[in-house]
Amino acid sequence: MDGTLIRFLSDHDIEGYAQLLWGTLASLGWLEIVSLELSTFYEVGLPINSNDREVWRFVQKNRMILITNNRNMEDDSSLEHTLREENLPTSLPVLTIGNVERLSESNYRKRCADMLVEIALDLQNHRGRGRVYIP
């Protein structure tokens, strides 16, 4: 790894789960090997009532990877609509946790952590994919 910092943003509604995941990354030693950073909406100054399109544009502009629960396609500003309309081959992926409640299970959390690291280490091959479900 070249030491390049890879920045992640936790969706506001799963911050506690994202912290659990980050703790697993630390306990597995990944944070000593791979330069990863996790931020919250508050830490980056993003209002928690931002719509999906605003969040996606923010993470792309700030070269961050969003970690989210399963956002939906409710309206024109939804994540799915945004990805269909604005995703480019150079866009960073959105990591969607398949079952966020299962992050309380250590084995599931470890699988998510391992997959997150795999994606971070091979980020160029995940650009433009839109959503990537983990695990």
From residue 120, give the alpha-carbon distance in Å to each of 3, 78, 89, 108.
12, 25, 17, 18
Q: Is the whole-model pTM more than 0.75?
A: yes
User: What are the φ and ψ backbone dihedral angles of 133, each rounded to 5 degrees?
Assistant: -85, 135
Beta carbons of 90 and 128 less than 8 angstroms apart:
yes
pLDDT at position 77 over 80: yes
From residue 111, give the alpha-carbon distance in Å to each of 15, 16, 77, 97, 102.
18, 18, 31, 11, 11
Rg of the chain on CA atoms, in Å: 14
pLDDT at position 72 over 70: no
Model pLDDT, residue 74: 73
Model pLDDT, residue 3: 73
Share of the chain above pLDDT 70, in %: 96
Higher-confidence position of 33 and 74: 33
Mean pLDDT, the chain, as a whole number? Answer: 94
